[in-house]
Amino acid sequence: MGPGPSDVHPRVLAALARPTVGHLDPYYLRVMDELQSMLREVFRTKNRMTMAISGTGSAGQEATVLNLVEPGERVLVCVNGVFGVRLADMAERAGGEVTKIERPWGEVFPVAEVKEALARLKPKVVALVMAETSTGASQPVEEIAAAVRDAGAMLILDTVTALGGIPVEIDKWQVDAVYSGTQKCLSCPPGLAPVSFSDRAVEKILKRREKVRSWYLDISLIANYWGSDRVYHHTAPINMTYALHEALRLVLEEGLDACFARHRKNHAALKAGLAAIGIPYATQAGYELPQLNAVRIPAGVEDAAVRTALLERFGIEIGAGLGVFKGKVWRIGLMGYASRQTNVLVLLAALEQLLAEHGHKFERGAAIAAANEIYAAQG
Amino acid sequence: MGPGPSDVHPRVLAALARPTVGHLDPYYLRVMDELQSMLREVFRTKNRMTMAISGTGSAGQEATVLNLVEPGERVLVCVNGVFGVRLADMAERAGGEVTKIERPWGEVFPVAEVKEALARLKPKVVALVMAETSTGASQPVEEIAAAVRDAGAMLILDTVTALGGIPVEIDKWQVDAVYSGTQKCLSCPPGLAPVSFSDRAVEKILKRREKVRSWYLDISLIANYWGSDRVYHHTAPINMTYALHEALRLVLEEGLDACFARHRKNHAALKAGLAAIGIPYATQAGYELPQLNAVRIPAGVEDAAVRTALLERFGIEIGAGLGVFKGKVWRIGLMGYASRQTNVLVLLAALEQLLAEHGHKFERGAAIAAANEIYAAQG
Residue of A nearest to B12 (CA): A17
A58, B60 in Cβ contact below 8 A?
no
Residue type, B260: F
Best residue in A20, A67, A241 for a mutation probing chain B (most B CBs within 10 Å): A20
Residues B72 and B199 in one domain: yes
Q: Is B86 on the interface with A (CB under 8 A)?
A: yes
Residues 121-180 of B with CB under 8 A from A: none
Query: CB burial class (10 A; 0-12, 13-18, 19+) of residue A253?
Result: exposed
**How many Å apart are CA B28 and CA B71, to the nearest integer?**
37
In a domain, A2, yes or no: no
Q: Contact B215/A240, CB-based, under 8 Å?
A: no
Of A4, A93, A322, nearest to B214 by CB-CB distance is: A93
Of B58, B62, B235, nearest to A190 by CB-CB distance is: B235
pLDDT in tens, A255-299: 999 999 999 999 999 999 999 999 999 999 999 999 999 999 999
Closest by Cα among B33, B32, B82, B80 to B57: B82
Mean pLDDT, chain B, as a whole number?
97
Q: What angle do CA B258, B261, B263 make, to 5 degrees?
A: 115
In a domain, B1, yes or no: no
Q: How far is B349 from chain A (nearest CA, A)?
A: 21
DSSP A324: G
pLDDT in tens, B356-376: 999 999 999 999 999 999 999
Residues B354 and B246 in one domain: no
Q: Is B324 on the interface with A (CB under 8 A)?
A: no
Residue A129 banded pLDDT, cuts 50, 70, 90: very high
Residues B277 and B241 in one domain: no
Of B16, B214, B235, nearest to A5 by CB-CB distance is: B235
For residue A26, CA distances in Å to A230, A246, B120, B307, B311 come to 11, 18, 48, 12, 10
In a domain, A160, yes or no: yes
Residue type, B173: W
- For residue A42, the domain's CATH number is 3.40.640.10
- For residue A301, the domain's CATH number is 3.90.1150.10
Query: In the predicted model, what is the mean pLDDT of residues A161-188?
Result: 98
Q: Contact B215/A183, CB-based, under 8 Å?
A: no
In a domain, A321, yes or no: yes
Q: Which of A254, A287, A307 is the last residue of a domain?
A: A254
Torsion-angle region of A315 (φ positive above 0: left; ψ -120 to 50: alpha; else: beta):
left
In a domain, B4, yes or no: no
Query: How many domains does one find in chain A?
Result: 2
A26, A239 in Cβ contact below 8 A?
no
Segments forming the whole domain that contains residue A214: 10-254
Residues A325 and A351 in one domain: yes
Q: How far is A341 from chain B (nearest CA, A)?
A: 20
Residues B232 and B281 in one domain: no
Contacts of B240 in chain A (CB under 8 A): 189, 191, 237, 240
Residues B269 and B211 in one domain: no
Q: Which of B212, B230, B254 is the last residue of a domain?
A: B254
Q: Is A231 on the interface with B (CB under 8 A)?
A: no
pLDDT in tens, A288-298: 999 999 999 99
Contacts of A21 in chain B (CB under 8 A): 5, 317
Q: Is B60 on the interface with A (CB under 8 A)?
A: no
Q: What pLDDT does residue A379 have?
A: 77
Q: What pLDDT does residue A237 have?
A: 97
A to B CB pairs, distance under 8 Å: 174
pLDDT in tens, B272-331: 999 999 999 999 999 999 999 999 999 999 999 999 999 999 999 999 999 999 999 999
Contacts of B54 in chain A (CB under 8 A): 55-56, 59, 191
State the CB neighbour count (10 A cutoff) for residue A143.
14
Contacts of B317 in chain A (CB under 8 A): 21-22, 25
Q: In the predicted model, is pLDDT for residue A172 greater than 80?
A: yes
Beta strand A131-132 pairing with A137-138: antiparallel
**How many Å apart are CA B126 and CA B123, to the nearest integer?**
7
Q: How far is B237 from chain A (nearest CA, A)?
A: 5
Query: In the predicted model, what is the mean pLDDT of residues A357-378?
Result: 97
Residues A177 and A162 in one domain: yes
Residues B198 and B224 in one domain: yes
Residues B166 and B200 in one domain: yes
Backbone torsions φ then ψ of A224, nearest 5 degrees: -70, -20
Beta strand B131-132 pairing with B137-138: antiparallel
Best residue in A7, A92, A98, A215 for a mutation probing chain B (most B CBs within 10 Å): A215
Q: How far is A150 from chain B (nearest CA, A)?
A: 30
**How many Å apart are CA A136 and CA B373, to the nearest integer?**
67
Q: How far is A320 from chain B (nearest CA, A)?
A: 10
Residues A309 and A349 in one domain: yes
Of A26, A183, A215, nearest to B89 by CB-CB distance is: A215
**End-to-end alpha carbon distance in chain B:** 22
pLDDT in tens, A195-233: 999 999 999 999 999 999 999 999 999 999 999 899 999
Best residue in A234, A238, A316 for a mutation probing chain B (most B CBs within 10 Å): A234
Residues 11-30 of A with CB under 8 A from B: 13-14, 16-23, 25-26
In a domain, A186, yes or no: yes
Best residue in A239, A313, A314, A325 for a mutation probing chain B (most B CBs within 10 Å): A239
**How many Å apart are CA A127 and CA A75, to the nearest integer?**
8
Q: Which of B222, B254, B286 is the last residue of a domain?
A: B254
In a domain, A131, yes or no: yes
Residues A246 and A142 in one domain: yes
pLDDT in tens, B77-107: 999 999 999 999 999 999 999 999 999 999 9
Residue of A nearest to B53 (CA): A55
**How many Å apart are CA B76 and CA B292, to the nearest integer?**
26
A362, A348 in Cβ contact below 8 A?
no
Q: Contact A215/B240, CB-based, under 8 Å?
A: no
Q: Is B221 on the interface with A (CB under 8 A)?
A: no
Q: In the predicted model, is pLDDT for residue B379 greater than 90?
A: no
Complex ipTM, two decimals?
Answer: 0.96
In a domain, B330, yes or no: yes
Q: Contact A190/B93, CB-based, under 8 Å?
A: no
Q: In the predicted model, is pLDDT for residue B33 greater than 90?
A: yes
Residues B241 and B324 in one domain: no
**CA contacts within 13 A on the Cβ side of B101:** 22
